[in-house]
Amino acid sequence: MDVNDDDVEIMSHAFALAEQAYENLEVPIGCVIVCPVAKFPSLLPSNGRTLEAVCKNTLLIIGAGRNNTMASCNATRHAEIEAIDQITKSFCDTIPWHQCSLYVTVEPCIMCIAALTDLGKFCRPNSLCLGIKEIIFGCHNDRFGGCGSAMKLPSSYSDNPPITIRHGVSAKEAITLLRRFYIRENKSAPKPRKKDNRTLKDCF
């Protein structure tokens, strides 16, 4: 895949969030959702949240998220879901999902791909309920990836146009961050129970 400077710049914001997740003992995945400034110059949050412009002020980061499953005690609070929720809470009017791109450090899981393909369930009344335009991710997710690594949603899942998928942006950095996470000791994990006095039951 061809990687340009804009891709690397935007992905760096996702990595900053992934590092925050790492520091909070979450699986280190971060993402941002960007929208072109020129096509939607009047897209302003209703809650006063300041939007950050990137790529020489041509794109706005309208949503951002990191994994938050441990702190929330909710296994569905992936980075992508956090970003979607941030957007829907910030904007009262039309959310131009079909013009937005998602940058995420690791390939989205099947659950998140399903959500990104049909964002109508997250839309407010009168919102433009289409799927997101493009997903750009760093490294593959061989166990749970919904962009083809583990599974790919059938075309019949949604009537919306198919999402463009690109990958390989800062892939080595994404893999390194995951390895840092998985080799360290999780101090919040429960202590394993001893099995010394257990016996094998031979009746069923």
Catalytic positions = 80
Three-class SS of residue 174? Answer: helix
Helix (H) or strand (E) run with residue 9 in it: helix 5-23
Token couple for 24: 């909070």
Task: At 104, list the tokens.
Answer: 């995420």
Q: Give the separation between CA 170 and CA 154, rounded to whole angstroms.
A: 28
To 10 degrees, what angle do helices 5-23 and 79-90 make?
100
Cβ atoms of 81 and 112 closer than 8 Å: yes
**What's the chain's Rg over C-alpha atoms?**
19
